[in-house]
Homo-oligomer: A and B are copies of this chain.
Amino acid sequence: MSKQSVSKWDLFEASFIGPDAGNPYIDVSFEAFFKQNSRVVRVPGFYDGAGTYKVRFMPDNEGEWTYTTISSVAELDGQTGAFSVMPPTAGNHGPVHVANQFHFAYADGTPYLPFGTTSYAWTHQPLDLQAETLKTLAGARFNKMRMAVFPKDYPFNVNEPLFDIFERDEEGELDFDRPNPVAFRHFEMQVAALCKLGIEADIIIFHPYDRWGYCDMSSAQDYRFVGYLTARLAAFRNVWWSLANEYDFLLNSKPMAQWDRYFQIIEENDPYRHLKSIHNGDVKANYDHRKPWVSHVCIQNWDVKRTQEWRDAYGKPVVNDEPEYEGNILLSWGNISAEELVHRYWITLLRGGYAGHGETFMHPEDILWWAKGGVLHGEAWKRIGFLRDILEQDVKKGLTPLAPSDNWPWSRVSGASDGDVVYIYLGEHQPVIWAPGLPTEPGDYDVDVIDTWNMTVNPARIVDAPANHPTRHGAQTRSRRPDAVFAVELPGKPHLAIRIRRRR
């Protein structure tokens, strides 16, 4: 028998036959130790139904690996194997981690700028709709998807899911002690499909939109569920763990200590340390994202000019995954204009954060992208893709806000830099001449004016910097006497950005 091989950061899986009596999910302990030279990595296994036990592993180093299993039952204990890890295939950059404090990068060092969208229950819809969702994603520029494990019960979301997440007993009741492997296999297939499209799966573990009882599982059942999910999915390189959507709407049944414990269980079972975050409902109910198991700030907040506050408060990357959605439904988080969502994206990005997309347009069959997927009906997604393309041309480390401690003018307009590139987003401001944030020393610069809505980039008209008007008060001189070496003339209309690139 020839030795198995797998690419670095791809998924290695080994299957074993064991007992199927009783409740193997609870009764049988099963894990494996993967070894390369002196290095040992503990990986939990899981029961996949019908007497099958599996262990999955995402190797992060090329070369020869071996493994040994440990189990409470004899036939699963002491099993060994060996496999080779080959170089990653093209387009496989490994999992995403935090880089440069406020930003992200793939494991191979390639910068990763999250441009996520949201379709909470897309894997629970009819298969043809799921196929359409994947096709839409293939034609858009999103590289992250927020998606829930559990199905969704909510306005516009009243259909039954494709699969129950747990098996049903003889009375037809969900048995929260027996995960349904069929549901998980399907979910994993779609996580893998996203991976092929270069899309990270931001997996939402708990949410409050429930009529089936998933919200009311016991804490022991929750903990087992989180462990099971981690054992099944952690080896997929595009997995992010989102502990909840609107966790605070669940606090009446799941107190804060329980949320901390969910995080810890993932840490105990995910040897790859995938990104972990938790999403708030009420803007005043942010989780304490300073806790060490939180990798980045996931936030719901429409007041995007506050992005700097969240960077300061938590010292971690800020992903505003719900700055309200483009749409026209009654609910106010889901009915802003495309212009406004694009505006909020530019503000968020140029204050050193990241933003998330969603679409909630009324639909005769209640197929709203934000929950069910399908096709995109709005106008924002194209401009968000344009913004991604613009930034990926030059951003390497991630954007740092211009003079974040200086109230002027960067609380009013947005600007950020990364190395030799500076971006300024004027938004609702429409000056006919602009100087703050422009170079203060002579040099060769390419300066462009970007129309964020019409998606055009044109060379800026350069003029002399405005003369300094002497003022009495030092406090005013920083901006009112711009020390820029030149200024940019603008057409005096909103939603423009300026890009300055230093020529090397």
Point out the residues of chain B lying under 8 angstroms from A336, CB to CB: 428-430
Contact yes or no, B154 A469, CB < 8 A: yes
- Whole-angstrom CA separation of A333 from B362 in the bound complex: 38
Contact yes or no, B430 A154, CB < 8 A: no
Given contacts A412-B324, A433-B330, are A428 and B337 in contact (CB under 8 A)? yes
Interchain CB contact (< 8 A) of A407 among B282, B408, B413: B282
Complex interface bits, A460-474 against B, C-beta within 8 A gives 1, otherwise 0: 000000100111111
Q: A residues 326-365 with Cβ under 8 Å of B?
A: 328-333, 335-337, 339-340, 362
State whether the Cβ of A432 lies closer than 8 Å to any Cβ in chain B.
yes
Copies of this chain present in the complex amount to: 2
Interchain CB contact (< 8 A) of A328 among B154, B335, B470, B492: B492
Given contacts A413-B332, A430-B328, are A494 and B283 in contact (CB under 8 A)? no
Point out the residues of chain B lying under 8 angstroms from A430, CB to CB: 328, 335-337
State whether the Cβ of A27 lies closer than 8 Å to any Cβ in chain B.
no
Contact yes or no, B337 A435, CB < 8 A: no
Q: A residues 146-197 with Cβ under 8 Å of B?
A: 153-155, 158
Point out the residues of chain B lying under 8 angstroms from A436, CB to CB: 330, 332
- Whole-angstrom CA separation of A474 from B492 in the bound complex: 48
State whether the Cβ of A25 lies closer than 8 Å to any Cβ in chain B.
no
Given contacts A155-B480, A211-B472, A472-B215, are A328 and B431 in contact (CB under 8 A)? yes
- Whole-angstrom CA separation of A408 from B302 in the bound complex: 13
Interchain CB contact (< 8 A) of A249 among B210, B324, B475: B475
Contact yes or no, A208 B469, CB < 8 A: no
Complex interface bits, A466-503 against B, C-beta within 8 A gives 1, otherwise 0: 10011111111001101000010000111000000000
Given contacts A209-B471, A472-B211, are A432 and B328 in contact (CB under 8 A)? yes
State whether the Cβ of A2 lies closer than 8 Å to any Cβ in chain B.
no
Q: A residues 292-349 with Cβ under 8 Å of B?
A: 302-303, 305, 324, 328-333, 335-337, 339-340
Q: A residues 425-452 with Cβ under 8 Å of B?
A: 428-436
- Whole-angstrom CA separation of A5 from B360 in the bound complex: 69
Q: Tally chain A residues at the interface, Cβ within 8 Å.
A: 63
State whether the Cβ of A89 lies closer than 8 Å to any Cβ in chain B.
no
Interchain CB contact (< 8 A) of A469 among B155, B303, B432, B480: B155
Smallest Cβ distance from A126 to chain B, in angstroms? 21
Contact yes or no, A429 B469, CB < 8 A: no
Smallest Cβ distance from A47 to chain B, in angstroms? 29
Interchain CB contact (< 8 A) of A305 among B210, B303, B335, B479: B303
- Whole-angstrom CA separation of A435 from B482 in the bound complex: 49
Binding site for B on A (CB under 8 A): 153-155, 158, 208-211, 215, 249-250, 252, 281-284, 302-303, 305, 324, 328-333, 335-337, 339-340, 362, 407-409, 411-413, 428-436, 466, 469-476, 479-480, 482, 487, 492-494
7 example contacts (A-B, Cβ-Cβ < 8 A) are as follows: A153-B472, A155-B469, A155-B480, A215-B472, A282-B407, A335-B431, A362-B433
